[in-house]
Structure 1
Amino acid sequence: MKSYISPIEDIISEASQGKMFILVDAEERENEGDLVIPAEDANDNVINFMAKNGRGLICLALNDDKVDSLGLTLMSSNNQSRHETAFTVSIEAREGVTTGISAQDRALTIATAISDNSKSTDIVSPGHVFPIKARPGGVLVRAGHTEAAVDIAKLAGKNPSGVICEIMNDDGTMARLPELIEVAKKFDLKIGTIADLISYRINNDHIITKVGNEKIISDFGDDWDCFVYKNDLDKAEHIALVKGRIDSDDIIPVRVHSVNIFEDLISINPNRKNLISKSMNLISTFESGVIILVRDTNEGALLNLLKKYSNNNIKQDNKLKEYGVGAQILIDLGVKKMNLISDTNAMPINLEGYDLEITSRQPLEEVK
């Protein structure tokens, strides 16, 4: 199946010519795929094609500046969807549409929304077009189709927006790679992967900067270094705790931990108490190891967490698509192969795009 995957440079070239393509997570996975096209090229024929042959939800991927300029609010202030896809309220062009659902009407709504001259008064809600807000930093921060669509449009010299639609089979099930290949052959579409896009951007972009490091002495030994990294996009600072010497040829024990002040400091969730110290205790038994502490500094992050606890919704979210910052820190530290310290078997998608390999897993639940 590898022969059906086009280099990301070819996908960018297709986008620059206003052509549609299929985007999947990675070539070796039986994953889902989306039809994708730069939004400025999404005319009524494109919308009709997506509705007829994609069959999924037709969405408009926008960057945060455009979402803000249009005054679009997120559909939910407490996003609990599996991948935290940032849907805004649905929209419609204020002028020129009829019912709003036709291919012509949706194409007009998209053109109105992405116009450089568009204002919040040019659209109304609700409507029949579903905008999704891409994360700043694109696939280097969140490896989703939303971010990929915006990234590719920008790389192609287009308006930084895209129209995407999941591909479903005739029976309503999600099309996997073998079916996606058949769709690509039938309609002469190229297939690209988000993993390849990540690799491409890593070779051309970098979003984290090491701003300082100090030796530290802890309850788990004195052979630890603390590095502080800054995200150049949102200026958030993240921590890397490193024990020993990191050799790229070695398999390094690694814990990527999303810092949660309620669980890590206040122990509001007894099932997730002392995870950082447990990780340090475990790594202290190895010659070397790394703990990445990723902080969520988005506006309202603490309030949203507090609401989850007040609703007794304390299940741990697996933010599998947001390994971008942690992955770039690991690369900077020289990690290539890792023994991932985690109590879940979930696989961080597109990690291979960062040239990082999970060779094994180490549960934390057994650590006292």
Structure 2
Amino acid sequence: MSHFGRDRTSAASVRSHRPSTDVDDVLTAFRSGDPVLIHDAADREGETDLVYPAREVTPDSVRRLRNDAGGLVCIALADRVARAWDLPFLQEILSHPAAANHRLEYDERSSFSLPVNHRDTYTGITDDDRALTIATIGAAAEAPKAMDFSATFRTPGHVHLLRAAPDLLSDRQGHTELGVALAETAGLPPAVVVCEMLDDETGGALAPSAAKAYADRNDLRYVDGTHLIERLG
């Protein structure tokens, strides 16, 4: 697995490993445990997420996500996995008035489910704690009914779970579905970490050109969501 470090790649390596939108290259990298960068669409969120296979996440991966991406670290799960673990959509179970009339400008609904910690963590927020929570969920997603979710995790916690649409890209084309579809096509458990890449100077979403440059520097694969939808949808 690649580790974080913005300038670890030599100039010669950068020239020979340009960011690729070839989906086969992205699948190969993801299958090997490397993170990939996925941009959803300019007319949707317009964001690039750094995406990992959840079961491959280590404390180094969490450090990279919070230092180099900077957004919210979440685990996206296939709908069948969420159903096996009885995971609801969060907006459907909240009774607080703030949850009423929950409208999104870019989508019909939120994918958020419960935020959790592994029961063997302390605070749940450290790199080691979050890596344990994420990797355990990632491995268990291969055969979700074999694990007692409530005995293994507690809520509230520090790792946010996302529930993908049942038919993935046919239903919804967010990073949740793009990531899970990528994992399934790669033959991996349908659980991926997604984290928005933010611009340190503006505080907004990292521009696609800057995300591609980051991929270039770190020998990672960048792909536009439209290419994934064409191939995986």
TM-score interval for Structure 1 and Structure 2 normalised by the shorter chain: 0.7 to 0.9
Report SS of the residue matched to 1:163: strand
Contiguous gaps of at least 5 residues in structure 1: 203-368
* Aligned residue among 114, 134, 159 for 1:110: 134
Give, in angstroms, the shift of residue 149 of structure 1. Answer: 0.6
Report SS of the residue matched to 2:114: coil
Q: Percent identity?
A: 29
CA contact (8 A) 2:20 2:26 kept: no
In structure 2, distance between residues paired with 1:27 and 1:6: 16
* Aligned residue among 6, 14, 35 for 1:20: 35
Deviation string, structure 1 residues 208-238 (Cα, Å, up to 9, x no partner): xxxxxxxxxxxxxxxxxxxxxxxxxxxxxxx
Give the partner amino acid of 2:29: E
Deviation string, structure 1 residues 93-138 (Cα, Å, up to 9, x no partner): 12x2111001111111122323133222211100000011001121
- Alignment match, 2:49: 34
Give, in angstroms, the shift of residue 71 of structure 1. Answer: 2.4
In the superposition, the TM-score normalised over structure 1's length comes to 0.51
Matching of residue 164 in structure 1 with residue 194 in structure 2: yes
Q: Which runs of 4+ in 1 moved over 4 A?
A: 26-30
Matching of residue 88 in structure 1 with residue 113 in structure 2: yes
- Alignment match, 1:285: none
Give the partner amino acid of 1:90: P
Residues 27 and 76 from structure 1, CA distance in 2 versus in 1: closer, same or farther, beyond 3 angstroms? closer
Give, in angstroms, the shift of residue 31 of structure 1. Answer: 3.1
Who wins on radius of gyration, i.e. which is larger? Answer: 1
Higher helix share: 2
- Alignment match, 1:119: 148
- Alignment match, 2:220: 189
Report SS of the residue matched to 2:49: strand
RMSD (Å) for aligned C-alpha atoms: 2.1
- Alignment match, 1:232: none
Report SS of the residue matched to 2:51: strand
Matches within 5 A, 1:131-150: 131-150=161-180
In the superposition, the TM-score normalised over structure 2's length comes to 0.79
Contiguous gaps of at least 5 residues in structure 2: 1-17, 93-99
Give, in angstroms, the shift of residue 25 of structure 1. Answer: 2.4
Matching of residue 177 in structure 1 with residue 208 in structure 2: yes
Residues 29 and 190 from structure 1, CA distance in 2 versus in 1: closer, same or farther, beyond 3 angstroms? farther
Residues 123 and 196 from structure 1, CA distance in 2 versus in 1: closer, same or farther, beyond 3 angstroms? same
* Aligned residue among 152, 159, 162 for 2:182: 152
Query: Higher RCO, 1 or 2 (CA under 8 Å, sep at least 6)?
Result: 2
